Structure 1
Amino acid sequence: MNRPMPRKPKSPKATRLMAIDAWIDSAFYEIGFKASEIWETFTIFFRRFRYTGWKRVFFELLGEGFTMGAAGSVVMLALAMPAFEETEGNWRAQDDYAVTFLDRQGNEIGQRGIIQRESIPVDEMPDHVIKAVLATEDRRFFEHYGIDFLGLLRAMSENMRANSVVQGGSSLTQQLAKNLFLSNERTIERKVKEAFLAIWLEMNLSKKEILQLYLDRAYMGGGTFGITAAADFYFGKSVKDLNLAEAAMLAGLFKAPAKYAPHVNLPAARARANVVLTNLVQGGFMTDGQVLQARLHPADIVDRGDRNTPDYFLDWAFEEVKRLTAKSGVRSMVARTTIDMNLQRATEESVEYNLRQHGKEYGVTEGAVVVMEVGGAVRAMVGGRDYGQSQFNRATKALRQTGSSFKPYVYAVAMEHGFTPDSIVSDGPITWGKWAPKNYARSYGGGMDLTTALVKSINTVPVRLAKDYLDIPPIKAMAEAMGVESTVSSHKTMVLGISGMTVLDQATGYSVFQNNGMAGLRHGITQVLTRSGDVLYDWDKDATPPKRVLSTTAVGYMNSMMVQVPERGTARRAALPTIRSAGKTGTTQSYRDAWYIGYTGNYLAAVWLGNDDFSVTRRMTGGSLPAMVWNRLMTYAHENVDLKPIPGIENPFVDATVIAKAEAKQKKQEDELGDIERRPVLSGSTTRALRAIADVFKNSSVIDAPPEPETLSAL
């Protein structure tokens, strides 16, 4: 019989390990048991909130609302961050600069800065002035918190009833946010920022402070900013002394200062003032009896004569003056500018004329132009059709895709890398990664010289140049070296103009071709002086010296190609009678933007046409309406001037046979330009001689002393 072997007694170490294992098992069991008890208790508790029927629907919607609210809060925060970035800097401070601007002839053309500094506290303004503004701009100003939803609904209903925009829904705070931090560009992004900034202003300022800033910063027409400056300009008195009729007229200017400016259209201003008086009654601010005298005796204004200030140019020049004199510590000064008021009026007239005549046909509403003289002086600037309607400067701030007008930058690099106008490059299908650009006509011409490719605006040739011979970085570097300040894309599609540029950028870049390869010549300020006459800045002495970015050979090649664009290429409508010009058209995808940048040996003009909301036009190309705008203003610009040749082009005149064909067209254009003030009929050489004589007398220590004989002989 087998007996079991006796077990050996466990060691103390093994006993301890078994005890630890048992403790771990027990601990996990206890934790699991307690967790199940807690979960059961939690479940039983929340079973009390389980509803059926309409109660369940309510709580389900409430739960979804919390979820959507959390997600919405994240989205709103993401949208708010760009808006709050606009508040950086000392935005409360009034601009303490006071600058008087003179044109190239020394005539005063406007002021900036000082009219924002002369402020009268709201508490010291007459009660009827404040009521007139609130009754028209924001009746519920003291009741809402930045955004007036009731006012917005009322405006929408009124607009639907009238089938047009007759009321605006923006609160006074929203309008202030736009004036302080944003532009007038009509985009969804701007409206979102405006809403956030309005709430931010309400959180950081009192209602009185918001109203004060609004009254001090709004554009009021006639080149004036703020109700204090407007009262002085239109009525020759302080805002404290305004009567009800005058207050109503000023209150009517906030939304449309150009349309209702009394010095431009007094009947329209009085009609608008009558609307303000009606608003006072309807809003409960006054009674019919209180406004009766103002209706019977409308306001009269001070006669200021014909005051047509180049406001877009002045806004840009004001920023230039502040940049140039920032280290001087001086805040009150006089600036001599480069603007030619005759050419400025001709440029404004050309834009307005062509948009009135052909705007509906092409589905375009806005335009911008910069005109420069050889040497870089900015002679005219149009930043939009109506400064009173929109102070957003489309010439210096709007970034619009350039389309084919970017191609000269590509060809300029090619000329510097050994290509010539006669170099042959294949115009055939090309693929660059997943990108397969095509020509406008969807056809190909095989081997093609670069002149023909540029003149016909072929797409595949510059793409092939960039892909096979040049690469993107040198093209980007060339555009920047030529003066383009906007960010140039580094993507391969930049070859065909996807980068956004300003009109001023385009004029600056193309001016290198006009100035024989030299960059850095653009300027709008020739001199800045203190009120006592001390010179703070002088362009001839203090400006950064220009630098060469294109060789004379490359410039000659480029100009020899670009003169053929208006002669046999895409810009035939830009061809000037008797004068050879060079240039390039540009049209972006879906016809949203159209460009023509052209130049002679005397002047350069960059023209952009499009819509503020980026909507498409009716197949408008750069060779259509922009070329027509360019032609009209440049025809005027070249009257009675000494013609200069384009660098690399020996003869500035068109062939005699072409001149004969253009005579009829020239006469017609001269007749159309008859309402513009003509240039002086003296030739350029005679004008220079007369100015030299004037300088002799001006610099003479004795006014009646005759000039020295050698001076006269030099003249």
Structure 2
Amino acid sequence: MSGSRKKRGPLVAEKRYQKQPPKKKSPPAKRPVKRNQPAKKKRGIIGWLLAPFFWVGGLIWRFTWRIGLVVTVLIAVGVFYFAAQLPPIEEIVDGRVRGSVTLTDRDGEVFAVRGDQYGGFITTDTVSPHLKNAVIASEDKRFYWHPGVDPRGIASAVRINLREGRGPLSGNGGSTLTQQTAKLLCLGVAYDPNTWENEAAYEADCRRTTLWRKVKEAVYAMAMEFRYTKDEILTIYLNRAYLGNGNRGFESAAQRFFGKSAAELTPQEAAMLSGILPAPSRLAPTTNLERAQGRGDLVLGLMEAQGYLSPEEAAQARANPATLTESATARVGGYFADWVMDNGPEFFTRDTTEDVIIQTTLDQDIQAAAEEALLWVFEEKVSEDSVAEAAVIVMSPDGAVRGMVGGRNVRAVGAFNRATQARRQTGSTFKPFIYGTALELGFSPLDLVDDSPITINVPGSGDWEPQNYDREFKGPVTLDQALAESRNIPAVVMNEEVGREIVRNVAQGFGIESDLAAGPAMALGVSESTLVEMTGAFAGILNGGSSVTPYGLNSLSVRGDAEPLMDNSTAGIGERVIREEAARQLIWMMMNVVENGTGARAKIDGWQVAAKTGTTQSARDAWFIGFTGDYVVGVWMGNDDNSPLKGTTGGGLPADIFRETMVRVIDGQQPVALPYSVPVPSTSSRVISRSEFQGSDEIRGILNDILASQ
């Protein structure tokens, strides 16, 4: 049984856990063999000394490139921000805050410009290529190559400033044309009247130079380069650059200085305009033509050096320097222009935002005559050390001012105008209003008035004893003689006889707006007035006894409009003050002032002249106001500090100025007769004296009627 038994197979558990064959041991890892590696050098003493510097340098580099990256990102953000805000160039070429006022004379010729003048839109394609080249050559020769800022130019400017002892940002700025244009745009900041006191303060703030502003300016310039083409940037600059005398843009300057468009400029004219860019007010050709021509030569040299002009072209331009037009050099009527601006509507003159054209009453020939006459008298008859001043007004009988000189500096602009602003005692030039009142009330120029010592009690002041200029008394004299010799006592007597209030009304009716003295001294011209008021009052006598309002504005219109906004051509003559016959007799009396009295130095051969002299106490003021058939000329002379004149009366130097003015005004004209009436002698005359101050019942009744009508 055992022999037939088969051999058993392994159990499952045994199958699962069969003995595994032993693993072969891996041979031990071999160490890598070092193949000829250089031996590590030991740091020497120099290495240990330089190590901190290398470490700091590495730290700075790691810091710098990160900061540079941040700055680059910020600049890029700023460039894209500003570029997105920039408008089309058509909207910013005329950057004026205020408009301009162009003043023309009675014939329509321009003689003065006030405010900011803009000549019209120009582009780099429409202007003369010489102008474009001159600006680039003198202001930024690498304009077409830089991205808005020029590191080379900035470094050069800083070096020059430091070498000359200035701060790095003072003096030369190294600004590109793009940066200059950015500054002209005020870096995009518009004028706000609530922020700046005026336009000048706004522009001064735009020109401020600080480190932060220079950084902002550079970013803004790069934004402009991103937004506009080079020619568009240059177009903005050509339209907005300031070139002196109120000219904004090269078109305005070309028209003002040369009487032509910017498209027609020659190389020398373009060079002159470009040369005044660094300091327009000081370098403008109307300020100093020779200096402006010298600056133009420098620009011509730059244009030649940079290949814009051949040596022959540059030499020819230097041989024929740019000159100004006659109208640009005339510069007449500065005082008159200021007066018109001050008296015109504010929103169309001093504060206008429009371009306004004002046609005035000025006659440039008459203006030149008044200026020449005043200067001639001071040069020929006044000592060189004299500080006395004078003023002259020439007026038509209707009050239209034809010429005005407000001081010895006849070219002044914006100066104190002694013809319209100086209020001075009138002296004996007031007396015609007394005698005009008497004539209106029925007195005759041949009536007699007692020139004898008088004493008048002035309440609150005591007794007043007026004196004649010559300290003499002539007894009974005619009204005509009293006026011709400018005797004081007869004037006081007549003033009291006809009544101070009536004389006051007549004087004010003729245009004397100043407050007149209340006492009897009113007759001697102790009240103050201006030359323009007094001349206007005398014009009322010449025109037959009607009041006038002195005026200088004929019409006012906005440029481009067909119809004027204001028409003042009928202004001037107002209501009648005295009868025409009374005015004609008064003119006859004033003619005798020149023929036989204190105004003899004003005689003009072949011409009838009527006038009145005036000298105030201690000769602080000297007046002469007179007229021919067509013109009234008023002259005042005195010291600005009201100190006495030396040896001067109204019949002296002021009469000379009157005569020199008038002979120039009427030169070449036929004599014009004055409208006068010769009084008829009366068979019965009376002597008006101190005892008759209460006046007759007839005179008093006339006075009451006049007072009742006021």
Classify the TM-score, shorter chain. 0.5 to 0.7
**Greater helix proportion:** 1
Match of 2:370 among 344, 347, 355: 347
Give the equivalent residue in structure 1 for 2:471: 442
Matched, 1:420 2:444: yes
Native 8 Å contact 2:584 2:675 kept in 1: yes
Structure-to-structure mapping, 1:189-200, within 5 angstroms: none
Matched, 1:620 2:648: yes
Match of 1:321 among 341, 344, 359: 344
**Amino acid corresponding to residue 391 of structure 2 in structure 1:** A
Matched, 1:460 2:489: yes
Native 8 Å contact 1:565 1:571 kept in 2: yes
Shift of 1:319: 3.1
Give the equivalent residue in structure 1 for 2:390: 367
Native 8 Å contact 1:463 1:495 kept in 2: yes
Native 8 Å contact 1:476 1:488 kept in 2: yes
Structure-to-structure mapping, 1:292-307, within 5 angstroms: 303-307=324-328
Native 8 Å contact 2:116 2:246 kept in 1: no
Secondary structure at 2:607 match in 1: coil
Native 8 Å contact 1:95 1:117 kept in 2: no
Matched, 1:594 2:622: yes
Secondary structure at 2:635 match in 1: strand
Give the equivalent residue in structure 2 for 1:337: 360
Secondary structure at 2:535 match in 1: helix
CA distance in 2: counterparts of 1:505 and 1:223, whole angstroms? 35
Native 8 Å contact 2:334 2:411 kept in 1: no
Percent identity between the two aligned chains: 32
CA distance in 2: counterparts of 1:414 and 1:448, whole angstroms? 15
Secondary structure at 1:628 match in 2: helix
Q: Structure 1: which 5+ runs fail to align?
A: 1-93, 119-124, 132-138, 140-202, 216-221, 254-260, 274-296, 651-715
Give the equivalent residue in structure 2 for 1:508: 536
CA distance in 2: counterparts of 1:600 and 1:243, whole angstroms? 47
CA deviation map 1:335-390 (0-9, x unaligned): 22221111111111000111111121794532111111233322111112225556
| Structure 2 CA distance for partners of 1:619 and 1:545, relative to 1, 3 Å | closer
CA distance in 2: counterparts of 1:272 and 1:496, whole angstroms? 59
Shift of 1:479: 1.5
Q: TM-score, normalised by structure 2?
A: 0.54
Matched, 1:402 2:402: no
CA deviation map 1:64-114 (0-9, x unaligned): xxxxxxxxxxxxxxxxxxxxxxxxxxxxxx994532222122212222233
CA distance in 2: counterparts of 1:96 and 1:441, whole angstroms? 58
**Amino acid corresponding to residue 369 of structure 1 in structure 2:** V
Native 8 Å contact 2:624 2:650 kept in 1: yes
Give the equivalent residue in structure 2 for 1:637: 665
Native 8 Å contact 2:394 2:404 kept in 1: yes
CA distance in 2: counterparts of 1:366 and 1:607, whole angstroms? 11
Matched length: 446
Match of 2:416 among 392, 415, 425: 392
Give the equivalent residue in structure 2 for 1:493: 521
| Structure 2 CA distance for partners of 1:228 and 1:618, relative to 1, 3 Å | farther
Native 8 Å contact 1:566 1:582 kept in 2: yes
Secondary structure at 1:354 match in 2: helix
| Structure 2 CA distance for partners of 1:212 and 1:549, relative to 1, 3 Å | farther
Secondary structure at 2:512 match in 1: coil
Matched, 1:539 2:536: no
Secondary structure at 1:563 match in 2: helix
**Amino acid corresponding to residue 102 of structure 1 in structure 2:** T
Q: Which has the larger radius of gyration?
A: 2
Secondary structure at 2:391 match in 1: strand
Native 8 Å contact 1:223 1:311 kept in 2: no
CA distance in 2: counterparts of 1:589 and 1:228, whole angstroms? 54
Secondary structure at 2:540 match in 1: helix
CA deviation map 1:286-329 (0-9, x unaligned): xxxxxxxxxxx9xx977344532311111112234327979x99
Secondary structure at 2:612 match in 1: strand
Secondary structure at 2:382 match in 1: helix
Q: Structure 2: which 5+ runs fail to align?
A: 1-95, 121-138, 141-152, 159-165, 167-195, 209-242, 263-270, 297-317, 679-710
Secondary structure at 2:669 match in 1: coil
Native 8 Å contact 2:244 2:281 kept in 1: no
| Structure 2 CA distance for partners of 1:580 and 1:633, relative to 1, 3 Å | same
Native 8 Å contact 1:321 1:335 kept in 2: no
Matched, 1:429 2:453: yes
**Amino acid corresponding to residue 637 of structure 2 in structure 1:** L
CA deviation map 1:629-682 (0-9, x unaligned): 1111211222333443222258xxxxxxxxxxxxxxxxxxxxxxxxxxxxxxxx
CA distance in 2: counterparts of 1:270 and 1:212, whole angstroms? 31
Native 8 Å contact 2:371 2:410 kept in 1: no
Native 8 Å contact 1:362 1:617 kept in 2: no
CA distance in 1: counterparts of 2:512 and 2:207, whole angstroms? 35
Matched, 1:224 2:245: yes
